[in-house]
Chain A
Amino acid sequence: MLMEVRGVSLRFGGVVALDDVSFDIAKGEIRAIIGPNGAGKSSMLNVINGFYRPQQGDIWYRGQKRESGKPHKIAGEGIARTFQNIALFEGMSALDNIMCGRLTLVRSGFWKQLLWWGPAEREEFEHRERVEHIIDFLEIQAIRKTPVGQLPYGLQKRVELGRALASEPTLLLLDEPMAGMNNEEKEDMCRFVLDVNEELGTTIVLIEHDMGVVMDIADRVVVMDHGQLIADGIPAEIMHNQDVIDAYLGVAH
């Protein structure tokens, strides 16, 4: 198991966002988290990457319990994510945004960067080469020098995926990567997700509302509702689970 979430509860004042949630994430799988709006899916991702600290429960990552930890430290441990509402750095080009994804991997210190010649420059171009591979992979060569604010939504999503991939993550968290996309863009995005998973062996946790997508690409699915975990299993089981159907379609009282 790459990660285990054990009995996590998260409250904001009186609001219970997560209520005793436990599941695991196996190495190399695509794990989907689904559920109606407000079910606590994004909160779950925020707990996984350390942005929220749960009041109860533990996160075990690579066999070790996470003691405490700031988000920037957890990013350094190989957990990267994208956001539901795009969170790119608007003042920078697509290339610079993706280069930012490699900040945790930069080794040259202040003085080397100040001098630039030699080690810092060499390192920069090594990172640039890796980033160019990602740009090729995501097919965004033409926009690498465009400020991201000028890009259409679908491409912004791609740049954001590129930024997350640039850090060479072990665990990649995708928060609604296909929201607001048309079918063609969704197909592209699915292809990228599957390729990343297969070629790089990256474990992926994905929140998605498009059931077709989830059932096609996910290996296992967690279903949440009102902060509770209501089902966990392979897509075929989930589709016929009565609790899940009730949560989505409502149930007569």
Chain B
Amino acid sequence: MFYREVGDYKTTYADDSQTFPIRFDRLRYFFVLFVAIAIVPLWIDDYWSNAVLVPFLVWSVAAIGLNILTGYCGQISLGTGGFMAVGAFACYKLMTQFPELNIVFCILASGIVTSAVGIVFGLPSLRIKGFYLAVATLAAQFFLVWLFNKVPWFYNYSFSGQITAPERTVFGLPVTGPNVEPWAQYLICLAFVFVLAWGARNLTRGALGRKWMAIRDMDIAAEIIGVDPLRAKLSAFAISSFYVGVAGALYFAVYLGAVEATEAFGINQSFLVLFMIIIGGLGSIFGALIGAAFMVLMPIVLKNILTGGLNWEPSLATHVEFMLVGCLIMVFLIAEPHGISQLWNIAKQKLRLWPFPH
């Protein structure tokens, strides 16, 4: 019914390889984009911005980054939190050392710094795979957080060890610091998500994406058809870390405003992003977005239902949330390793024929 393909003929390769090949999908995508850009900023308030939309957008960037590395290139990483810390601290140093520099460039430059760090910690991937690589990236996680706690230069010798984002503006509007409007905070994050998701889509549908997927699916065959494993893996680490670094910078500067390395960028964050891409869907940009939305929204919805609706103890509700996340991860790993995005695709396939499947 909704997904009618009759009469929707593809006559060029460009038509055939669109991101949204079905007209209804395309229209819905533009509709969602329109709502996100034009409608949401009109009514967004502090609660929606701080509790729901901004964290969703920031985690989306991190999830896209990790999905490039793990979902597309098959290299597992548990260092996401550490790389986010690199992005945050790089952003802080750039903001304080070069107060004239526009915040957008600060954030992009933090991504580039993180990318360089990512390449260094990606080097072991040339020798080791799977669990062993996961442990090597875990070392990155602990080392980086330790470094940012240990060396006072990174937090400008402040007594608390915290870093606090000074006020910076885009087109005269504050987007960081204490005076930021919720809609400005939301729009700057949305702009980053939109551009970065679009870039990730372009990279993953072209030659580079095929190289990564070839390495993921069968590295020896990939090498024999002409993929240089060194360049493919390190480019995945570099680009993935760029995204994660930008996410870290946004997380610190735009979302929280003040962070402390151990608390904000611990191993929990690494796992959180990994759960996002597992539940959302490995090897899919949409999966990263939906996974981030799920992991951000689920605790809020559960809390509202359990403590608000059923009057449970908040601590009990928190425990239930932990259990639910754990169960969901097991269910997804066993039943649908490609996550919500695959369920979504299956639903769409069914809807193409609905209501007359024969």
Q: Give chain A's interface residues, CB within 8 Å of chain B.
A: 49, 51, 70-72, 75-76, 80-81, 83, 87-92, 96, 99-101, 103-104, 106, 108, 110, 113-116, 120-121, 124-125, 128-129, 163-164, 167
Instruction: Pick from A113, A129, A163: contact of B225, CB below 8 A.
Output: A163
A223 to B208, CA, bound (A): 41
Given contacts A103-B226, A113-B208, 4 further A-B contacts (CB under 8 A): A80-B225, A88-B217, A92-B217, A100-B225
B349 to A: closest C-beta gap in Å:
12
Closest partner residue, chain A, to B72 (CB atom):
A91
Nearest-CB residue, chain A, relative to B198: A116
Decide if B13 touches A89 in the complex (CB within 8 Å). no
Say yes or no for B214: interface residue by CB 8 A criterion. Answer: yes
Q: Is the interface of B mostly helix, strand, loop or mixed?
A: helix
- Cα distance A63–B106 in the bound complex, in angstroms: 54
> Would you call B14 an interface residue if the criterion is a C-beta within 8 Å of the partner chain's C-beta atoms?
yes
Q: Closest residue of chain A to B206, judged by CB?
A: A113
Given that A70-B223, A103-B225, A121-B14 are known contacts, is A91 also in contact with B206, CB under 8 Å in the complex?
no
Contact A91 B217 (CB under 8 A): yes
Contacts A72-B226, A81-B224 hold; do A114 and B210 have CB atoms under 8 A apart? Answer: no
Contact in complex: A103, B211 (CB < 8 Å): yes
Do B210 and A100 touch across chains, with their CB atoms under 8 A apart?
Answer: yes
B101 interface residue per 8 A CB criterion: no
Q: Determine the distance from Cα of A3 to Cα of B17 in the docked complex, in whole angstroms.
A: 40
Give the distance in Å from the alpha carbon of A213 to the alpha carbon of B207 in the complex. Answer: 37
**B227: A residues at CB distance < 8 A:** 72, 100, 103
Interface of chain B residues 171 through 227 with chain A (CB within 8 A)? 199, 202-203, 205-208, 210-211, 213-214, 216-218, 220-227
- Tally of B interface residues using CB under 8 Å: 30
CB-based nearest A residue for B235:
A110
User: Which chain B residues border A51 with CB–CB below 8 Å?
Assistant: 220, 223-224
Asked, given contacts A76-B226, A89-B221, A121-B14, whether A113 binds B207 with beta carbons under 8 Å apart, the answer is: yes
136-183 of chain B: CB within 8 A of chain A: none
In the complex the two chains form, is B225's CB within 8 Å of A101's CB? yes
Residues of A contacting B12 in the complex (Cβ-Cβ under 8 angstroms): 125
Minimum CB distance partner of A86 in chain B? B221
A72 & B228 in contact (Cβ 8 Å cutoff): yes
Report whether B203 and A113 are in contact in the complex, using a CB–CB cutoff of 8 Å. yes
Q: Is the CB of B226 within 8 A of A99?
A: no
Q: Report how far A115 CA is from B103 CA in the complex, Å.
A: 23
Known: A89-B218, A167-B225. A114 touches B203 (CB 8 A): yes
Contact B206 A49 (CB under 8 A): no
Interface pair B226/A87, CB less than 8 Å apart: no
Query: B283 at the A/B interface (Cβ < 8 Å)?
Result: yes
Expressed in whole angstroms, the Cα–Cα distance for A99 and B17 within the complex equals: 13
Contact A91 B216 (CB under 8 A): yes
List chain A residues, Cβ under 8 A from B13. 124-125, 128-129
Question: Which residues on B sit within 8 Å (CB–CB) of A129?
Answer: 13
* Interface assignment of B229: CB less than 8 Å from any CB of chain A: yes
Assess whether B226 is in contact with A75, with CB atoms less than 8 Å apart.
Answer: yes
| Chain A positions within 8 Å of B216 at CB level | 89, 91
Give the chain A neighbours of B218 by CB distance below 8 A. Answer: 87-90
Q: A125-B13, A125-B14 are in contact. Are A89 and B226 (CB under 8 A)?
A: no
Q: How far, in Å, is A164 (CB) from chain B's closest CB?
A: 8
Contacts of A128 in B (CB 8 A): 13, 17
**Within the complex, what minimum Cβ distance (angstroms) separates A253 from chain B?**
40
Q: A91-B283, A106-B207, A125-B13 are in contact. Are A72 and B223 (CB under 8 A)?
A: yes
CB distance A104 to B213 under 8 Å?
Answer: no
